[in-house]
Amino acid sequence: MQTDSSFTFVLFGGTGDLSMRKILPALFEAHRAGGMLADSGKIVAVARHAADRGEYIQWVNEHVKPHVSKNGVDETAWSSFLGRIEFVKIDLGNPEDFALLRDAVKDLPGIRVFYLATGPSLFVPICRALASVGLNENARIVLEKPLGYDLKSSNAINDAVGEIFAEEQIYRIDHYLGKEPVQNLLALRFGNALFEPLWRREWVESIQITIAEELGVEARGDFYDNTGALRDMVQNHLLQLLSIVAMEPPHSMDSDSVRDEKLRVLRALKPIDPLNIGKVAVRGQYHAGGIRGNAVPAYATEPGVKPNSTTETFVALKVEIENWRWAGVPFFLRTGKRLADRVAEIVVNFRAVPHSALGASALRAGANRLVIRLQPNESIRLYCLAKQPGEGMNLASVHLDLAFDQFFREGQMEAYQRLLLDVINGRLALFVRRDEQEAAWRWVEPILNEWKASNKPPKPYAAGTWGPAAASAMLAQHGTCWLEEEN
């Protein structure tokens, strides 16, 4: 991915956790690779916790450098990367300080990208302050999640930002869309004649999408207790992955063609019936337990969490898509904290053969399935049935690995690296359009409202397990179970 696009990348929240762990390391990897970033491109960090550029560079050396390059740091590349970085000390609560930013970037080259790695409460004030000094013109703005608390607040932010930046200037980032296996899912579906005829209700029995975390809320107890798993993970990550799995083939990979097809899926989601919510939606909250031999506390005792909190840390949903391709096929979504493993994957369960001419062992061995693993080890694996060696026709499940690291010598690109390059180069396909976001909130909100109105506490589950038993029971009603493999 070569580029001649000159740029000025302005990073708000330049000393924040996201900048430290993801954004600056991703920009360094693009710089180190050579040719991905124009030589004239500059990075302007904005923060108030450093006095000047020298102090900020010291912070970058101390906090960012440990997060870059798994195989060690190329000191020559690192030194030249630091040469790209400028620093502006700004109090984001003081709009007059933005004149300092205007003066700092006025002679810097290329397209201006403003990345808001801040809390959502600062999105609108920052955008208005940028407009007050004319920095919104011919620029791109990147908004991190969460973008609002519900449909109303999301629309309020989008309305305010939309008064300052045009829709084609706004990049709403969801890093799951930048992961290599998600890109390979698009290639698998739309670049091969093999799978597309099978990618429909006649041949697919069910689909599972799981994003499981071993971690708890860490130092984000106060934020998480006012958010919960449905808002934090389902409304964005899981529904975006679902829309890519289920979308119709776009006529091209340009930004609006892809996002138009995702939007059609989101608008086709069958609304959740409040009277039936207990059968299709499970929410849970972790209690004390153990993760890899270490005792961990209950959610209610985490710092920043209210002792009697009813916030969900686990959600499992049965989702249906009311269109010609997917009618009758259940999509099972699952996400949670303090689960038994850290894994994100998509499982496509194909239907069993209509008649087994090979005997009972074929039925016991199960049906075909395709597993797209997003993390921690990214892979695509196709499970088929094969004859076991020896006498008789005894079948067993075997798998074919799509081992990309063996076919391609280049290392896989991290999600943030791909997405940041897309922003710099003006590619919108992997970013969430406003109408997509509204459709997702519109589908999620009745679930939030029903849970709030019912006053029923979340179902408990011990940390280190796969969540409440009700989540497994929901799948058992459909004659299936969650795929829970060891990494």
Taking 3-state DSSP, the helix, strand and coil percentages for the chain, each rounded to the nearest 5, stand at 40, 20, 40
- Exposed, middle or buried by CB within 10 Å (0-12, 13-18, 19+), for 384? middle
3-state secondary structure at position 346: strand
- Rounded Cα gap, residues 229 and 150, in angstroms: 13
Q: Which two tokens stand for residue 86?
A: 């400028």
What are the residues whose beta carbons fall under 8 Å from the beta carbon of 358, sequence distance 6 or more? 393, 395
Instruction: Fill in the amino acid letter for 292.
Output: R
> Please, are residues 298 and 287 in contact by the beta-carbon 8 Å criterion?
yes
Q: Is 317 helix (H, G, I), strand (E, B) or coil?
A: strand
Q: What number of other Cβ atoms are within 10 A of residue 5's Cβ?
A: 15
Q: Which of 237, 287, 355, 399 is catalytic?
A: 237
Q: Is 237 among the catalytic positions?
A: yes
Identify the H or E element spanning 208.
strand 204-212
**Separation of CA 171 from chain center:** 14
For 34, left (φ over 0), alpha (ψ -120 to 50), or beta? left
Peptide bond into 271 cis (omega under 30): no
**Encoding tokens for residue 259?**
């996002």
With contact defined as beta carbons under 8 Å apart, do 21 and 15 qualify? no
Give whole-number Cα distances, 345 to 176, 209, 269, 317, in Å.
11, 6, 21, 15
Instruction: Compute the distance between CA of residue 370 and CA of residue 398 in angstroms, rounded to an integer.
Output: 12
b/e sequence 307-322, b meaning 16+ C-beta within 10 Å: eebbbbbbbbbbbbbe
Helix axes 24-33, 75-82, angle to 10 degrees: 120
Catalogue the active-site residues: 237
